[in-house]
């Protein structure tokens, strides 16, 4: 009798930092300022806002368990986070808000990469560029809107806003027509104090 092939259950996972209420409020104001009815963009919702530390892609259950265990061993105080100006990823049709790559944030990113490697997951080939995705182009109209926003440059959106990220989350991404839906698979406290001399 032929053996029945085993089908592994796969999950699209990534590690991310959630946003505090005052940052969410700032982003809501930005969306209100720039979005229009026929701008050709799909604007992300507060439930979708986060700062990705590393995208792991499709992983099986054993790798997911390995990630959860490894992330619980992250070390160091809560990294300093500071919002930068608006920016574009033209090739991907993405409008985003940049996040300053502070030393503590870069250190946390490297720790997550190390955890992923111990679970047999490769580092993303692109350089780590912390940001929060605000909108994605849905086609020609959306790309035209992004071109307008980038000419001559995107305006600043107020004074810098800083905070300390006290939690890392392991999120599962489910793709749907209206956009990705994220489910928290694990929460990891990052410490109860900001890095030394942190703040804005």
Per-residue pLDDT of the chain (200 residues; tens, 9 = 90+): 555 554 568 999 999 999 999 999 999 998 888 888 889 999 999 999 999 999 999 999 999 999 999 999 887 778 989 998 888 898 889 999 999 999 999 999 999 999 999 999 988 888 999 999 999 998 888 888 888 876 655 655 667 889 999 999 999 999 887 778 999 999 999 976 555 444 44
Instruction: Tell the burial category of 158 from Cβ atoms under 10 Å away from its Cβ (0-12, 13-18, 19+).
Output: exposed
What domains can be seen in the chain, in order of their start residue?
11-189 (3.90.1140.10)
Residue among 64, 168, 156, 61 at smallest CA distance from 116: 64
Note if the bond before 152 is cis, omega within 30 degrees: yes
Query: Under a CB-based contact definition with an 8 Å cutoff, are residues 72 and 85 in contact?
Result: no
Show the tokens assigned to 135. 């909108």
Record the tokens describing residue 84, joined without a space.
């930068």
pTM of structure: 0.86
């Amino acid at each position: 009798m032929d053996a029945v092939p085993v089908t592994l259950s796969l999950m699209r996972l990534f590690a991310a930092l959630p946003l505090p209420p005052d940052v969410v409020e700032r982003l809501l104001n930005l969306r209100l300022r720039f979005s229009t009815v026929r701008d050709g963009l799909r604007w992300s919702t507060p439930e979708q806002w986060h700062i990705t530390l590393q995208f792991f892609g499709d992983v099986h259950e054993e790798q997911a368990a390995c990630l959860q265990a490894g992330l619980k061993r992250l070390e160091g105080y809560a990294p300093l986070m500071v919002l930068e100006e608006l920016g574009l990823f033209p090739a991907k049709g993405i409008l985003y808000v940049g996040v300053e790559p502070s030393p503590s944030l870069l250190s946390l990113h490297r720790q997550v990469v190390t955890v992923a490697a111990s679970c047999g997951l490769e580092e993303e080939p692109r350089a780590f560029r912390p940001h929060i995705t605000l909108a994605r182009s849905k086609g020609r109209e959306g790309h035209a809107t992004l071109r307008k926003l980038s000419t001559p440059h995107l305006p600043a959106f107020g004074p810098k806003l800083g905070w300390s990220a006290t939690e890392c989350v392991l999120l599962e991404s489910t793709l749907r027509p209206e956009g990705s839906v994220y489910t928290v698979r694990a929460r990891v406290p990052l410490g109860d104090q900001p890095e030394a001399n942190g703040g804005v």
